[in-house]
Structure 1
Amino acid sequence: MDTATTGLLFRDATHADVATLVALVESAYRGDASRAGWTTEADILQGQRVDPEGVLEVIKSPDSRMLTVWRQDEVVACCQLERRGGHAYFGMFAVSPTLQGAGLGKLVIAEAERRVRETWAATEMHMTVISVRADLIAWYERRGYRRTGRMTPFPYGDERFGIPQRDDLQFELLVKELG
């Protein structure tokens, strides 16, 4: 197994983790540092990807958690899990750009799916992905997620979600049945 996926500790985030998680998510999606990995959105969105208030809201909510992945003293990945009735929502997924492509993301999503099945008895996992992110959607499809064709508009004008560099952004719902 690759060294990027050995010695990992999964745990729910605490208030003390907020700044570190914001930095991780930003590094995976925005700015030049994100180009070290393949999940960058730097060409389609500038500005912030997430703010401390958004991360803290996930941590504090009784129906959600921010799952963190630690290797030694460093957070190397994270994701948001939220109970929404019979299904769970998967979001705010980030893997350190320098570790992308080493199998860590596959482990994180598998652990997230296991946790929502066991903890919340979720029968489906839902997520939204920017529809122009064909490479990312294909990665999720290889993990068993299916495109639904259900679109929701991108929140143009709300800089909490970034500054769009194109006018055709929207979110597509992806769904996976959890066995």
Structure 2
Amino acid sequence: MITIATLEDASALEKLINSAYRGETSKKGWATEANLLEGKRITLDELEETIQNKNNTILKYTENNQIIGSVLLTNKGDKLYLGMFAISPELQNKGIGKKLLQEAEVNALSLGLSKIVMTVITIRKELIEWYKRHGYVDTGVREPFLLNDYDTIITDQHLEFIVLEKIL
């Protein structure tokens, strides 16, 4: 079931998001960043702040009272920004991500927005291809990868973001 996350979900979401992106647990899934970065993807305080921001909606995918997927949607006025997309590493490749992407599109249209944009680290080719299979295209725009205080880059490869978009 996909519903909107609330502050009460913050702790479970923080665990899910960090386990999907970083650390040993994330390596059980194919969408990990653990070979590129160490540290937390997000802190509990940042997540609570994100949830409280009126421009943000976090959709959560719940099964058996457990949050196993989530995505951040930010209303940017003329487009919807999609970020912090996380699926429990053990449950990736089961269609949960596809359902969350579809619900993001419903959310965008309900806000009168006909474009969804996102950023993905450029060297994450497999992930970029997955998004392309779901209708996203490379805009040609690249943005710098900025570290937060608790990130450590553990790769020699240059990190930057590709901007992908989908017109609905």
TM class, shorter-length: over 0.9
Counterparts of residues 24-103 of structure 1 (less than 5 Å): 24-103=16-95
RMSD across aligned positions (CA): 1.1
Aligned partner letter, 1:159 = D
SS in 1 for 2:27: helix
- Equivalent position amino acid for 1:171 in 2: F
Distance 2:143 2:154 in 1: 18
Mapping of residues 159-174 of structure 1, within 5 Å: 159-160=149-150, 162-167=151-156, 168-174=158-164
Letter in 2 for 1:165: I
Runs of 4+ in 1 over 4 A off after TM superposition: none
Counterparts of 2:47 and 2:5, CA distance in 1? 9
AA matched with 1:95: I
Please list every run of 5 or more consecutive structure 1 residues that lacks an aligned counterpart in the other structure.
Answer: 1-8
TM-score by length of 1: 0.90
CA distance in 2, matches of 1:18, 1:121: 28
Cα distance per residue 1:71-115 (max 9 Å; x no partner): 121001000001111210000100011110111111111111111
* Alpha-carbon distance in 1 for matches of 2:154, 2:105: 33
Percent identity between the aligned chains?
37
The count of residues paired between Structure 1 and Structure 2 equals 167
1:150 aligns with 2:141: yes
SS of alignment partner, residue 36 of structure 1: coil
Q: Mind listing any 5+ residue stretches in structure 2 that lack a counterpart? A: none
Matched residue SS, 1:22: helix
